[in-house]
Amino acid sequence: MRPRILVVEDDHALRDVLLRGLRDEDFDTVPAPDGATALRLATADLAAAVLDVGLPDADGRDVCQAMRANGFLAPVVFLTAHHRLTDRLSGFSAGGDDYLPKPFHLAELAARLRAAVRRAGPRPVTATGDLVLDAVRHSLTVRGAGVDLTPTEFRLLAALMAASGDIVRRRELVRAGWPEGAHVSDNTLDQYLTRLRRKLRDSGSELTVTTARGIGHRLS
């Protein structure tokens, strides 16, 4: 599933460039021309937000603070024409996760968004079929019954659930399950997936981990 990104930018031409460019970078986008619209659209199903500091109805940093106060937990990347250190620090203090000065390359914005989404990890509660994954309690339930998972199994299942039935490539599963730079053999990944299948089967879940040979795995 493509991550959904809230794009808050009042400049119509730049907003259109951002929307088209991020879609080309495999994001889904939700446009907002001002702070009031951003607050209305900042929902839990968003993976991140791109937020211009200079909005017509509010300072973007104030909008970010209000979003956080409303419970918005996803990463926020600020866009701004200001380059001073004090401006960047004020953005972080307001609840931002990254800060990109204008002008910028779209490829860099996309890379920063991917990194921010990856660092944020799974959303607090994810539901797929009869599975409910709670990242805060670090728990899996199947029709209300708890299932014990190791931390690595939990991360692998979270990545598969986030894909909503789409294939997740093996290298993406390795990135999701283990720290960056860890050496993970194909056999190690297969062993963890086998144990995950067994636990899902034993729980009575209607879902399992299937293999698309030579490509990756999906939850179906």
Instruction: Give 115-164 pLDDT, tens digit per residue.
Output: 998 887 766 667 788 898 887 677 899 988 999 999 899 999 989 988 88
pLDDT at 132: 85
The answer to whether 216 touches 167, Cβ cutoff 8 Å, is yes
- CA–CA distances in Å: residue 193 to residues 1, 32, 202, 215, 217: 20, 40, 14, 15, 9
pLDDT at 125: 63
Report if pTM > 0.85: no
Instruction: Please state, in angstroms and rounded to a whole number, the distance separating the CA atoms of residues 57 and 197.
Output: 51
Written as six digits, the tokens of 180 are 């960056």
Q: Three-state DSSP class for 96?
A: coil
pLDDT at 135: 75
Q: At what angle do helices 151-162 and 170-177 cross, to 10 degrees?
A: 130
Instruction: Please state, in angstroms and rounded to a whole number, the distance separating the CA atoms of residues 141 and 126.
Output: 11
The CB density around residue 200, as the number of other CB atoms within 10 Å, is: 21
Percentage of the chain exceeding pLDDT 70: 96
What domains does the chain contain, in order, with CATH numbers?
A: 4-120 (3.40.50.2300), 125-219 (1.10.10.10)
- Residue in the block written with tokens 């809230």: 6
Written as six digits, the tokens of 50 are 């791109």
Average pLDDT value for residue range 78-100 = 84
88-92, 100-104, 141-145, 186-190, range with the lowest pLDDT: 88-92
pLDDT at 216: 94
